[in-house]
């Protein structure tokens, strides 16, 4: 292992600690010696966690399982949060235990809010059951009070609530809305809400909950102002009002600081138990400001359901009867707009005891007691049966009459800009003229952020009261489009009856027009009633959808598959019903000695580098929940890792490197005493105001004195808290040396908090790649870590020493130099000087529509040639035509991509890498820092699918492009068979589930990557070329260009530049010149970013991760500027001066050859052929020697100047 120092890395005292100490003792030697005092808090916390776990076991009879243990730690820490997990995994059990624990041991006053009175009654029964058991080991008396409307004692219960005669109060959310005055005088330590949505349905309930928890009006108002200001900030940025945006940023920062002070003494807790809580709107954002969490949604991954269907035009009633008679008891859900009476009557005629549930507990009680076999209710997310019943022994099947759906009137659906686009796209496809409207909507969706689109949606629904002129103008146009769409669709439905969109169906219902979308949330929640935890095992259930609409069923399956790929609907006749019945029954019988399935659910933390990547990964496994630990956003998802293992995962970002070498200790951050080399690291401070970065712990930016800073120390603290909650940690930083060093730091800094830390690596952000990585964790790659340390130390030593020398000698504090950036500067200056030496004139000839160029050094000569060309034309000295088989180019490596993007798109290297980074993090392309052209089998399959879809199977020629490359590294390619046009449509429709702003710049680069990749998997093309030699006077020019595709191959998707006009020179001896222009120019061009990258690759200088940085650093130092049109690299006066100094003094240190040697040295360290100390010793002596030579040279130069002055 590598030994380094973390100057503030000790988890206890926050002071100096080595990586060895962290691995062996988990703390610095001082804290290990004073173990008793430094670990007092941790010991107290662990004791309380153990106390609650023991209490849990005593009242339930079993140990809390992994996820429950993770929640217990958060509960004991006093954290407010939403429990993110599938239904039926023990959330309600834990909350019932926790409520009792706090009431008995801490005398807390607690309020439990359920979405319905039926669920409230279930919670009350469970708490009472556990309380009876708790009495055996506790003498504390507590008062548990349930309010249910419509029962005989309801009035008396209200009187008890008014007098405060309770310790635990349990009601429905409806009671909170209607009877808040009874509650408002009481202050609760803990509020438990079974579902966040149930609270948010009444807009004032958030205020009420916060007031019950003790927040005063000033605190709530300030939180609202912060949340509203954040929304306004989105709008201001989009509208380009920078001054307003800056004002809002200052207000938010100051308001958050004020709120933080107000909340210092606030001790209260809100816990939400929700499987699919979907919080929306401004009020839900207030929870984040005051309590630090946002509601979210998670899909039911841990489900044992056999999903079947039958169509309504088949004998479906007979199928329903057979299922009911075989499985005995279950639930029937009726879709929106359909009546349950037909089904109920039919089942009754066949002797089945059935009851339609509308409200109340009596039906549920009769079902539990076996008096009723089938309950029928509505298939709505908040239906009583969908959420209000947990009977694993009784609910063996769920039957849906009609596809579960949500329906809204067309006029309300058109209050969505994205839905307008979907409708316009479909109408355009059908030939309806709507180009102007479609372009208007597309422009909004392309340039608008998610926040601004939501603002427009609200304005469409409610109107514009205080809009600025620009927004009002946009809204007027949107309202015009909305009216036109409504009328057009209504007319079309009169002819066709139904319009099928990609994700919805539009149809008439009575006089109204409705938009129906499949409701996967309701289906998952309702069908999950048949698959519950029973004695630690998940029961098996059967689900049947009686489909009344083929399109809605297909859409439902697609929506579900995007979250649960293994889910598949099969026709009821395709299953062996007798066998299924046996399996369903057997799953409800506890087998002695069988393991409990919830032991296979584990909790984990995944750490990536960027929040975008964290969000993208989470979105691939359902609609993730989101919470904040400090200022760090954490996305929570459920990942089915194996058939028998599910991971409840928290995904957070490190924000890149967490530590860097210090600047004020050792030899530029390395302790070199005693003949050893010990790098010293500290946390990184990034200033949001001035953009500067420094190393150390600061309250304010040392450059601009701003307090608006972010410290990686805060990120580490948040990750340490998360590490303490989970069973295992996956470090998923980028698959390169920099990512490996970040992984090393994370490993060291988190290891004391969780010993189960592993490294995972993926080269594309796809569901398949993530699962593959999680299933195949590895150890840290020590070779890569050592190589990164060598490169970083070399950068620091060489950069600091030369930079310091330059700053002292030239008197400019911002000057700098480095191993890779300095050779680039020398190339740019050399080319610039050569460019100046070879200046002359270009004679540009328009020869019958074809452009030809001749370079001439002298102006007079250029004028003569121009005149001769005008008079005589241009002679065709040679012309021949030939056909050549052209093979496709390989897919991109990093340098190829930068070069081609520069050539075809005029993108700089910096811009290309920035866009590629964002495309990678959004899951659209594979890892963009690679020197490999290899294509995996998965990549080949993507190309095959795409070409097959286009009917070009005959052109598919699979190639791996291995060329000796082995391992996981792969070329840059798309992650799905989706071309740029389809990607744009999916983004506009909002189908990708990503909160991302992909611009036209991104799409153009994606298009280039996609086409190049697909071309690499296609047949060669036959291309016709013309080779011609032209002359004017004594000057000649040669042209060799493609003129025609003879036989298509890869050129279908990646066409070459064709010059068909060149064919006219065949059988000609002279061309007439229409126009002649003389331009100042040079025989060679200035270097571009792409050409510099090509040189770096060819000469073995730098790596894919440093190509663009080498250019960027020279621009940042003021050594190079980019021309506006060609983006050519032009050295500044300062750049030329610095290059001269480097050439005269440091060429042996940062020259081309020296840098190439350093790359080889780093490679040797990575391969284990040279140890770290030897490499650093080599570099240190080389740096010291050349700095000394430079000093001697400078002194000698000064002496010469003095002598000259004296003479």
Residues forming the active site: 927
- Nearest CA to 1150 out of 819, 797, 816 is that of 819
Residue 168 · residue 99 · CB < 8 Å: yes
CB count in 10 Å sphere of residue 382: 17
Structure tokens at 348: 């009754």
Q: How far apart are CA 560 and CA 919, in angstroms?
A: 25
- Nearest CA to 23 out of 607, 881, 744 is that of 744
Per-residue DSSP letter, 725 = H
Q: How far apart are CA 988 and CA 445, in angstroms?
A: 6
DSSP calls for 594-653: PPPGGGGEEEEEEEES-HHHHHHHHHBTBS-EEEEETTEEEEEEEEEEETTEEEEEEEEE
CB count in 10 Å sphere of residue 62: 13
CA distances from 339 to 349, 367, 376, 379 (A): 17, 21, 10, 11
- Nearest CA to 638 out of 568, 563, 567 is that of 563
Per-residue DSSP letter, 226 = H
DSSP calls for 1100-1123: T-S-TTTHHHHHHHHHHTTSEEE-
* CA-atom Rg of the chain in angstroms: 35
Task: Provide the β-strand partners of residue 1070.
Answer: 875
**N-to-C CA span, the chain:** 63
DSSP calls for 863-915: HHHHHHHHHH-EEEEEEEEEEEEEPPPPPB-HHHHHHHIIIII---HHHHHHH
Question: How far from chain centre, in Å, is Cα 290?
Answer: 25
Q: How far apart are CA 497 and CA 490, in angstroms?
A: 10
Structure tokens at 262: 């107000």
DSSP-derived 3-state class of residue 827:
helix
Q: Who contacts 355 (Cβ-Cβ below 8 Å, separation ≥6)?
A: 344, 363, 366, 367, 372, 374, 375, 376
CA distances from 133 to 129, 130, 170 (A): 7, 5, 20
Task: Provide the β-strand partners of residue 1080.
Answer: 841
- Strands (E) located in 522-618: 533-534, 537-538, 541-547, 570-571, 601-608
Q: Tally the residues of the chain.
A: 1207
Q: How far apart are CA 471 and CA 53, in angstroms?
A: 55
Q: How far apart are CA 731 and CA 609, in angstroms?
A: 10
Buried-exposed string 1116-1148: b where 16+ CB fall within 10 A, e elsewhere: ebebbebeeeebbbbbbebbebbbebbeebbbe
Q: How far apart are CA 302 and CA 621, in angstroms?
A: 12
Residue 608 · residue 653 · CB < 8 Å: yes
- Nearest CA to 824 out of 448, 1114, 1073 is that of 1114
Long-range contacts of 206-211 (CB under 8 A, 24+ apart): 206/283, 206/284, 206/286, 206/287, 207/283, 208/176, 208/177, 208/180, 208/183, 208/184, 209/113, 209/176, 209/270, 210/286, 210/290, 211/184
Per-residue DSSP letter, 549 = -
């Amino acid at each position: 292992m590598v030994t380094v120092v973390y100057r503030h890395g000790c988890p206890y005292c926050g002071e100096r600690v080595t990586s060895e100490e962290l691995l062996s003792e988990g703390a610095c030697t001082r804290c290990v010696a004073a173990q008793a005092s430094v670990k007092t808090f941790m010991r107290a916390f662990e004791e309380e966690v153990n106390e609650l776990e023991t209490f849990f076991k005593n009242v339930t009879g079993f140990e809390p399982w992994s996820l429950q243990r993770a929640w217990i730690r958060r509960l004991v820490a006093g954290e407010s949060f939403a429990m993110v997990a599938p239904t039926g995994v023990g959330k309600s059990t834990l909350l019932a235990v926790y409520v009792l624990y706090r009431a008995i041991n801490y005398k807390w006053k607690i309020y439990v809010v359920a979405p319905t009175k039926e669920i409230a009654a279930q919670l009350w029964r469970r708490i009472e059951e556990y309380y009876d058991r708790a009495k055996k080991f506790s003498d504390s008396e507590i008062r548990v009070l349930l309010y249910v409307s419509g029962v005989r004692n309801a009035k008396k219960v209200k009187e008890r609530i008014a007098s405060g005669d309770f310790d635990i109060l349990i009601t429905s959310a409806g009671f909170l809305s209607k009877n808040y005055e009874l509650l408002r005088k009481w202050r609760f330590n803990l509020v438990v809400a079974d579902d966040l949505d149930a609270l948010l349905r009444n807009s004032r309930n958030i205020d009420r909950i916060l007031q019950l928890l003790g927040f005063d009006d000033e605190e709530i108002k300030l939180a609202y102002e912060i949340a509203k200001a954040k929304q306004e900030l989105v709008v201001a940025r989009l509208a380009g009002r920078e001054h307003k945006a800056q004002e809002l940023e200052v207000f938010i920062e100051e308001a958050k600081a004020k709120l933080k002070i107000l909340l210092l003494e606030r001790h209260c807790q809100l816990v939400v138990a929700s499987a699919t809580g979907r919080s929306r709107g401004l009020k839900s954002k207030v929870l984040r400001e005051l309590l630090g969490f946002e509601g979210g949604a998670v899909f039911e991954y841990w489900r044992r359901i056999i999903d079947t269907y039958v169509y309504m035009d088949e004998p479906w009633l007979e199928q329903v009867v057979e299922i009911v008679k075989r499985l005995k008891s279950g639930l029937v859900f009726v879709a929106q707009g359909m009546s349950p009476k037909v089904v109920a009557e039919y089942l009754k005629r066949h002797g089945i005891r059935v009851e339609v549930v509308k409200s109340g507990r009596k039906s549920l009680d009769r079902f539990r007691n076996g008096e009723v076999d089938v309950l029928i209710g509505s298939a709505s997310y908040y239906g009583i049966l969908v959420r209000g019943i947990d009977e694993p022994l009784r609910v063996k099947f769920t039957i849906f009459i009609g596809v579960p759906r949500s329906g809204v009137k067309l006029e309300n659906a058109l209050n969505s800009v994205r839905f307008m686009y979907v409708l316009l796209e479909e109408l355009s496809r059908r030939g309806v003229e709507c180009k102007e409207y479609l372009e208007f909507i597309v422009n909004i969706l392309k340039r608008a952020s998610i926040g601004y689109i939501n603002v427009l949606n609200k304005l469409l629904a409610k109107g514009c009261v205080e809009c600025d002129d620009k927004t009002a103008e946009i809204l007027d146009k949107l309202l015009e489009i909305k009216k036109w769409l409504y009328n057009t669709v209504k007319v079309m439905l009169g002819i066709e009856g139904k319009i099928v969109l990609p994700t919805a169906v539009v149809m008439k219902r009575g006089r109204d027009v409705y938009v129906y979308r499949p409701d996967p949330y309701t289906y998952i929640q309702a069908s999950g009633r048949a698959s519950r935890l029973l004695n630690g095992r998940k029961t098996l259930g059967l689900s049947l959808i009686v489909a009344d609409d083929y399109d809605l069923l297909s859409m439902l399956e697609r929506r579900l598959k995007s979250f649960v790929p293994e889910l598949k609907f099969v026709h009821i006749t395709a299953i062996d019903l007798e066998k299924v019945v046996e399996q369903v029954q057997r799953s409800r019988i506890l087998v002695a000695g069988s393991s409990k399935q919830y032991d296979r659910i584990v909790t984990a933390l995944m750490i990536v580098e960027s929040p975008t990547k964290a969000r993208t990964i989470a979105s691939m496994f359902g609609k993730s929940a989101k919470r904040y630990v400090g200022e760090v956003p954490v996305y929570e998802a459920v990942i089915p890792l194996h058939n028998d293992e599910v991971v409840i995962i928290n995904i957070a970002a490190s924000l890149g490197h967490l530590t860097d070498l210090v600047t004020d200790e050792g030899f530029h951050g390395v302790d070199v005493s005693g003949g050893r080399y010990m790098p010293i690291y500290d946390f990184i401070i990034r200033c949001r105001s001035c953009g500067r970065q420094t190393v150390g712990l600061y309250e304010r930016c040392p450059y601009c004195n701003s307090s608006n800073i972010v410290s990686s120390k805060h990120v580490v603290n948040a990750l340490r808290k998360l590490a303490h909650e989970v069973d295992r940690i996956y470090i998923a930083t980028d698959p390169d040396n920099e990512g490996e060093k970040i992984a090393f730091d994370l490993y060291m800094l988190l290891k004391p908090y969780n010993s189960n830390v592993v490294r995972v690596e993926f080269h594309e952000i796809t569901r398949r790649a993530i699962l593959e990585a999680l299933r195949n964790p590895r150890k840290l790659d020590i070779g890569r870590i050592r190589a990164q340390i060598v490169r970083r130390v070399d950068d620091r030593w060489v950069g600091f020493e030369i930079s310091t020398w330059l700053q002292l000698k030239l008197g400019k504090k911002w000057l700098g130099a480095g191993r890779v950036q300095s050779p680039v500067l020398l190339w740019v200056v050399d080319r610039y000087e050569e460019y100046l030496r070879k200046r002359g004139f270009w004679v540009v000839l328009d020869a019958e529509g074809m452009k030809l160029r001749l370079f001439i050094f002298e102006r007079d000569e250029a004028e003569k040639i121009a005149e001769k060309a005008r008079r005589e034309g241009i002679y065709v000295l040679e012309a021949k035509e030939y056909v050549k088989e052209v093979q496709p180019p390989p897919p991109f490596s990093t340098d190829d991509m930068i070069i081609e993007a520069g050539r075809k798109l005029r993108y700089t290297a910096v811009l290309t890498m920035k866009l590629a980074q964002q495309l990678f993090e959004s899951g659209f392309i594979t890892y963009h820092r690679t020197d490999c052209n290899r294509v995996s089998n998965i990549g080949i399959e993507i190309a095959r699918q795409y070409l097959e879809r286009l009917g070009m199977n005959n052109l598919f020629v699979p190639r791996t492009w291995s060329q000796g490359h082995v391992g996981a590294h792969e070329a840059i390619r798309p992650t799905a068979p989706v071309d740029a046009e389809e990607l744009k449509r999916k983004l506009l429709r909002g189908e990708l589930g990503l909160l991302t702003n992909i611009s036209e710049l991104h799409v153009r680069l994606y298009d280039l990557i996609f086409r190049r990749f697909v071309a690499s998997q296609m047949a060669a093309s036959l291309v016709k070329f013309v080779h011609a030699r032209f002359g004017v006077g004594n000057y000649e020019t040669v042209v060799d260009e493609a003129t025609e595709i003879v036989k298509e191959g890869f050129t279908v998707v990646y066409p070459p530049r064709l010059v068909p006009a060149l064919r006219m020179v065949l059988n000609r001896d002279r061309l007439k010149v229409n126009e002649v222009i003389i331009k100042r120019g040079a025989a060679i061009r200035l270097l571009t970013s792409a050409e510099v990258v090509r040189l770096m690759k060819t000469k073995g200088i730098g790596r894919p991760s440093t190509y663009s940085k080498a250019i960027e650093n020279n621009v940042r130092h003021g050594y190079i500027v980019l021309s506006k049109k060609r983006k050519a690299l032009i050295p500044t006066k300062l750049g030329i001066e610095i290059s001269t100094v480097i050439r005269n003094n440091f060429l042996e240190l940062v020259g081309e050859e020296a840098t190439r040697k350093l790359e080889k040295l780093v490679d040797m360290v990575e391969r284990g052929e040279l140890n770290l100390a030897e490499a650093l010793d080599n570099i240190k002596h080389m740096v010291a020697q050349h700095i000394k030579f430079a000093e001697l040279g400078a002194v000698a130069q000064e002496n010469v100047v003095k002598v000259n002055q004296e003479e």
